Structure 1
Amino acid sequence: MHDETRSVSKVPVSLAGYDSLTVPIHRASTIRYPDAASFAARFERDADGYVYGLYGTPTHRYLEKKITELEEGARTVLAPSGQAAVACTMLALAKSGERILIPDTVYGPVRDFATHELPALGIEAVFYDPLDLKELDGLINSSTRLVWAESPGSVTLEMQDVPAIVEMAHAHGVLVGCDNTWASPLNFRPLRHGADVVVEALSKHLSGHSDLILGSVTARDDSLGLKLKAAFGRLGIGTSPDDCALVARGIETLAVRLKRSSASGLEIAAWLARHPCVETVSHPALPEDPGHEIWQRDFSGACGVFTFTLKQRYADQAFSALDTLELISIGASWGGTKSLMAPTSVKALRSVRPWTGPDYLFRLSVGVEHPDDLRRDFERFFAALTLNAATAA
């Protein structure tokens, strides 16, 4: 055999006696078949078989199975982002002439997708007040295919009554999907409460280290899961096995990280609620929060993500004061080990009920730092805020 040929030839290596404690990373575009007949019959393999790299490797299967287990579902399909998981799920479940109902507090990019892409495909996207079940019931008609939920809502963190929404939708023969990224399956399981599909942005809590983009959708029954899997395949949705392995590793510390960030987040939220510069704090786990009763009833825990607003006299000084933060970074996303702040405009993200509060909310994702250090960072911010407001007066 020539060196050129020898260099590219696969050599057999025994795996006998080898069982790694970590998830092996299997990279592949091509899956090699033992013979021509097997290749010709490749699409007859079962749904978990291996056909082509786009449709998954053993690394993908491991993560799919792990998430399915956590969600208490039947089948999980992976997507290159949480946004892709939501968008492709909607495309898979609704067709031209059908309606999808979406909460007014939905994640901003999902609103953008529903506003621009769904109508172009003949799918009607109707936004509803997330807290008005009577209004929602009135919007469900014979063409409604899917009711989407996100609890708590994006940025403003309104708690939806998912069990009540499920009961209402199922009475009309309508499916229910839920974005569960804030809680993760450790703190809330929508499928247990009757939802048909649940989406996670794996970029957040489950991966937990702010270094990848990935998403998942898990179905309550396998027939729906297979429908999603087929649709995702037709759309060419594939994911990196390297990222899958990182998420699988992140899941191993998920409970520890959530416990830490949740406790610190609640401590910081309560402290901010008492601060003279702060107008409001939105955190479902706070007893005074409007959604606390639903959170206490349905959720087993919280996370370190919440929002707050400033009193009006400080609002115009906020952006320059944010630059004094040293420990808390300014940036999008959340759910990692490092604390993040994201000033977010809300008015443009509402269409059902006009937003009457301050336009800018400050979303804080508390990481695993010590809360005392985070408080010191906030004191720098508030000192600059107070000074700037006094100078401007």
Structure 2
Amino acid sequence: MSNATQLIHSIPVDPQTGSIAVPIYQTSTFVQDAPGVNKGYDYARSNNPTRATLEQIVAQLEQGHTGVAFGSGLAAIDAVIKLLKAGDEILAVDDIYGGAFRLFTHIYEKFGISVRYVDTTKAENVFDAITPQTKLIWLETPTNPTLKISDIAAIAAIAKASGCILCVDNTFASPALQLPLTLGADIVVHSATKYLGGHSDLIAGLVVTREKELGDKIKFIQNASGAILAPFDSWLVIRGIETLHLRVRQHSANALEIARYLEQHPQVDKVFYPGLASHPNHDIAKKQSKAFGGVISFTLKNNTEEAAIAFVTHTKFFKLAESLGGVKSLLCHPANMTHKSIPADKRRAAGVADSLIRLSVGLEETDDLINDLDQAFTSITQKLAVKEYADS
């Protein structure tokens, strides 16, 4: 049985009514037969049937033991960091999501949890950087926004030998393409806002653990901290997951064609997409992923912030917005949007240039998207030429 078929039929039919869709249990509390005697639910912060169904589906989808749903992707990340204590160290990928950087640096460092950033595309860098204080290795693969790829299995072996937890942010690939837990990771996190939800209409986060022990700890943190996902949003994620494989297949096909177009464009300097043979981590991506996803980044030969801003404000189908993974195509300028919280020197050192543009390729016809990019390139050429003339 294929993964897509298994996924669709892992979403249960309601045993009470036969409803083909999972019911939304929009309730704050549950009646008990006697104090402490209930039907498995007592208070909706601790558990809710709709949320519990989502958590079970995602655990199965990631081939893990325990799934835990949160009110946002950052709340999910926050729960993982709460596994640590003062004096512990996180070893994190250098090209990291700006929100994770902000959480690690501005929230948890003041509580005595230190963070060091390394280029994880070479597993030996991780091995060399581990210290006795390192308790958590944090990967994004592909990374946001330069699409670096790390060898999950190799780093998992290093983590296990060093007694570290390995957590992989699987948001960009999604379980339709990549299964980090089967490669040895201990924890997977998702911004379910992105591909799992898939329609740009919710905010949600998910944690999946490979083993019960870690899952129990994350579940305790969820209940104790209270950053739960609401029933309606849980239902929206379930609905999105039903079409995950179909959507991601088309996102990936569209993105590969657009990446090839960008690679040949005279105004483009570099294209970052693991599906291209020119990508330095292409072979690792092929080894651990079924396809290459719907996110592309590129830099302009006119390597200026001004040129990038001109480009992102002249597209028609690619809408200028943060986030990704939805049906409609989006684009953003990371230096001024998603990664603005990272100091400029650190951002540039990780490869996030001032002219870097990130595309979230949607489900429109590929020719329409390429034509949109074409007219944006033409627009910025004209705009910059007029400015140069005015300045002369």
TM-score by length of 1: 0.89
CA distance in 1: counterparts of 2:203 and 2:352, whole angstroms = 32
**Counterpart of 2:158 in 1: which secondary structure?**
helix
Which residue of structure 1 aligns with residue 33 of structure 2? 34
Write out per-residue CA displacement over residues 325-374 of structure 1, whole angstroms, 9 at most, x where no aligned residue. Answer: 22110000000000001011167366498256732311001111001111
Write the distance in 2 (CA, Å) between the matches of 1:172 and 1:190.
18
Cα 1:29–1:202 shift into 2, 3 Å: same
For the residue of structure 2 that corresponds to 1:178, the secondary structure is: strand
* Shift in CA distance, 202/16, structure 1 to aligned 2, threshold 3 Å: closer
Aligned to 1:8: none
- Mind listing any 5+ residue stretches in structure 2 that lack a counterpart? 1-13
Question: Larger Cα Rg: Structure 1 or Structure 2?
Answer: 1
Q: Name 1:155's counterpart in structure 2.
A: 145
1:86 to 66, 77, 83: 77
> What is the CA-CA distance between 1:227 and the residue it aligns to?
1.0
Structure 1 residue 156: deviation in Å? 0.9
What amino acid maps onto 2:220 in structure 1? A
Question: Which of 36, 55, 62 does residue 53 from structure 2 map onto?
Answer: 62
Q: CA 1:341–1:85 in structure 2 vs 1: closer, same or farther (change >3 Å)?
A: same
The CA deviation at 1:23 is: 1.0
Whether 1:293 and 2:288 are equivalent positions in the alignment is no
**Is residue 344 from structure 1 mapped to residue 330 from structure 2 by the alignment?**
no
Is 1:216 matched with 2:210?
A: no
Q: Which moved more, 1:276-285 or 1:121-130?
A: 121-130
Equivalence for 2:19: 20
RMSD of aligned alpha carbons: 2.0
Gaps of at least 5 residues in structure 1 are 1-14
Greater displacement, 15-24 / 244-253: 15-24
Provide the identity percentage: 36
CA distance in 2, matches of 1:268, 1:228: 39
Q: Which runs of 4+ in 1 moved over 6 A?
A: none
Residue 245 of structure 1, CA deviation: 0.3
Q: Which amino acid aligns with 1:265?
A: A
Which of 81, 91, 98 does residue 101 from structure 1 map onto?
Answer: 91
1:242-261 to 2 correspondences below 5 Å = 242-261=232-251
Q: Given the alignment, which residue of 166, 173, 191 partners 1:183? A: 173
Does the C-alpha gap of structure 1 residues 100 and 307 become closer, same or farther in structure 2, counting only changes over 3 Å? Answer: same
1:320 Cα offset (Å): 3.1
Q: Greater shift after overlay, 285-294 or 312-321?
A: 312-321
- In the alignment, the residues of structure 2 paired with residue 131 and residue 352 of structure 1 have an alpha-carbon distance, to the nearest angstrom, of 17
SS at match of 1:229: helix
Equivalent pairs, count = 370
For the residue of structure 2 that corresponds to 1:149, the secondary structure is strand
Alignment check: 8 A CA contact 2:308 2:355 kept: no
Structure 2 counterpart of 1:282, from 266, 272, 276: 272
Aligned to 2:66: 75
* Cα distance change, pair 330–36 in 1 and its aligned pair in 2 (3 A): same
Q: Residues of 2 paired with 1:160 and 1:325: CA distance?
A: 32
Q: Which residue of 2 aligns with 1:6?
A: none
Q: Flag the 1:313–1:131 CA change in 2: closer, same or farther, 3 A.
A: closer
8 Å CA contact 1:344, 1:362 repeated in 2: yes
Matched, 1:383 2:374: no
